[in-house]
């Protein structure tokens, strides 16, 4: 199994003076997987990304990237690309010139480096000859992704790649990342956007105060969350409320932070109790027109896990 790991970290610790940024972190990222990294501000996410990119070295622990142990040198391992805190660009150069300069720094020929191809992949063909200083945040993020793609990475490390993206830009980025994973590239994606993580990631790691509080498949994260609030829209709201009141493990919630009206019912229940409620509604002849969590399972579990870590419970 280890031969399939793009990242294997065990007991990683990193301190900055008296501040413990990472405290015994373990992390496994499989090749061909998009792995989400989430946590509150100051949790240690950026420090961990920096270690993967060779921008920092751990004080203790063992880190292997693409099967090779990481030493004490400040250098990105071969086959790794990405950015932290936004991509570095030359503002006076065009998008195409930025990529050509990067290729030249690596000693390659810009004419055969695939610059036009990566610009097309991220949706920047129409602005390829515009100067980067006029780019929006989202366009700069996409140009940074294009720069990473030029290296044909086997591990791609990205910090908030959807930051500032409009729907079209987000579509391009999602398509690129999905294709890379399908081709065997491992992607480590840090984001505060839970929708992006749920759409892209097969596994997530949640970090709080420098420690891993959860790491595993998204479906396990949702299952481990004991209760969620769900919106129910049915053909007979009054009957649905009666059924919900009688269903074991289900509570009707009158103040769930969502719009309340005569047609909408909000219940709080673990997954097993919710499944039973749906069966009971069908048996009573109540049609279920909409069933959705008020807060996504990932966001609910994220909040619960990080709050538990911060309070020391």
CATH code where residue 188 lies: 3.40.50.300
User: Residue 257: which domain range?
Assistant: 225-311
Q: What is the Cα–Cα distance from 210 to 213, expressed in whole angstroms?
A: 9
pLDDT of 109 reads 66
Helices (H), ranges, the chain: 45-52, 95-105, 115-121, 137-149, 167-182, 194-200, 218-224, 237-246, 271-283, 297-311
> What pLDDT score does 158 carry?
92
Q: Of 218, 243, 270, which residue constitutes the final position of a domain?
A: 218
Average pLDDT, stretch 97-108? Answer: 85
pLDDT number for residue 111: 67
**153 has a pLDDT exceeding 70:** yes
User: 181 to each of 31, 202, 266, how far by Cα in Å?
Assistant: 8, 11, 37
The pLDDT of residue 176 is above 50? yes
Q: Are residues 72 and 125 in the same domain?
A: yes
Together in a domain, 145 and 160: yes
Give the predicted TM-score (pTM) of the model: 0.80
What's residue 102's pLDDT? 86
pLDDT of residue 89: 87
Instruction: Check residue 17 and give its pLDDT.
Output: 92
Q: In this structure, what CATH number is given to the domain that contains residue 240?
A: 3.30.70.250
Pair 231, 149 in one domain: no
- Give the mean model confidence (pLDDT) for residues 91-102: 92
Domain boundary residue, one of 199, 218, 237: 218
Pair (105, 206) in one structural domain = yes
Q: How far is CA 263 from CA 66, 231, 245, 279, in A?
A: 53, 10, 16, 20
Our CA dihedral for 205, 218, 161, 108, rounded to 10 degrees, sits at 80
Q: 250-298 pLDDT, tens per residue?
A: 999 875 444 445 578 999 998 889 999 999 999 999 999 999 888 877 7
Question: What local confidence, expressed as pLDDT, does residue 234 receive?
Answer: 92
Q: What is the pLDDT of residue 308?
A: 64
Residue-wise pLDDT for 65-88, tens only, equals 998 888 776 666 788 999 887 788
Instruction: Locate 94 and state its tokens.
Output: 């065009």
pLDDT at 12: 96
Q: Which two tokens stand for residue 96?
A: 């195409």
Q: Which residue has the higher pLDDT, 155 or 305?
A: 155
CA torsion, ordered 296, 297, 303, 305, to nearest 10 deg: -170
Out of 28-32, 167-171, 184-188, pick the least confident: 167-171
Statement: residue 62 has pLDDT above 80: yes
Q: Do residues 304 and 210 share a domain? A: no
Last residue of a domain, one of 200, 218, 236: 218
Q: How many domains does the chain have?
A: 2
Q: What is the pLDDT of residues 192-247, one digit of tens each?
A: 888 888 889 989 999 988 999 889 888 777 665 567 889 999 999 899 999 999 99
Average of per-residue pLDDT values in the chain: 86
Residues 269 and 203 in one domain: no
- Report residue 286 as tokens: 């109540």
209 and 278 fall within a common domain: no
Domain co-membership, 124 together with 246 = no
**Are 60 and 146 members of one domain?**
yes
**C-alpha to C-alpha distance for 97 and 192, rounded to whole angstroms:** 31
Crossing angle between the packed helical segments 137-149 and 95-105, to the nearest 10 degrees: 30
Say whether both 10 and 116 belong to one domain.
yes
If asked whether residues 29 and 172 sit together in one domain, one would say: yes
- Say which residue, 109 or 79, is predicted with more confidence: 79
Assess whether 212 and 258 both reside in one domain. no
């Amino acid at each position: 199994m280890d031969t399939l790991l793009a990242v294997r970290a065990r007991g990683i610790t990193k301190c900055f003076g008296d501040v413990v940024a990472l405290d015994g972190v373990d992390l496994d990222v499989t090749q061909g997987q998009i792995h989400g990294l989430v946590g509150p501000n100051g949790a240690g996410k950026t420090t961990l990304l920096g270690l993967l990119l060779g921008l920092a070295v751990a004080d203790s622990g063992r880190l292997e990237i693409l099967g090779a142990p990481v030493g004490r040198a400040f250098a990105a391992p071969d086959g790794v690309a990405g950015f932290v805190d936004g991509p570095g660009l030359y503002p006076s150069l065009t998008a195409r010139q930025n990529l050509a300069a990067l290729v030249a720094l690596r000693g390659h020929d810009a004419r055969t480096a695939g610059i036009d191809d990566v610009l097309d992949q991220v949706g920047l063909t129409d602005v390829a000859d515009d100067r980067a200083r006029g780019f929006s945040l989202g366009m700069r993020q996409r140009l940074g992704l294009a720069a990473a793609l030029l290296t044909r990475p086997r591990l791609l490390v990205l910090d908030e790649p959807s930051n500032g993206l409009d729907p079209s830009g987000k579509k391009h980025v999602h398509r690129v990342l999905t294709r890379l994973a399908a081709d065997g590239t491992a992607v480590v994606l840090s984001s505060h956007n839970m929708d992006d993580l749920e759409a892209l990631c097969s596994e997530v790691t949640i970090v709080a105060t420098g420690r891993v509080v959860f790491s595993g498949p998204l479906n396990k994260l949702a299952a481990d969350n004991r209760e969620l609030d769900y919106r129910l829209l049915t053909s007979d709201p009054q009957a649905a409320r009666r059924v919900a009141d009688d269903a074991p493990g289900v509570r009707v919630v009158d103040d769930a932070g969502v719009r309340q009206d005569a047609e909408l019912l909000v219940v709080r229940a673990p997954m097993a109790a919710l499944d039973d409620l749906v069966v009971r509604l069908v048996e009573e002849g109540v049609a279920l027109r909409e069933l959705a969590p008020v807060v996504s399972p990932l966001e609910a579990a994220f909040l619960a896990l990080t709050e538990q870590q911060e309070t020391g419970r």
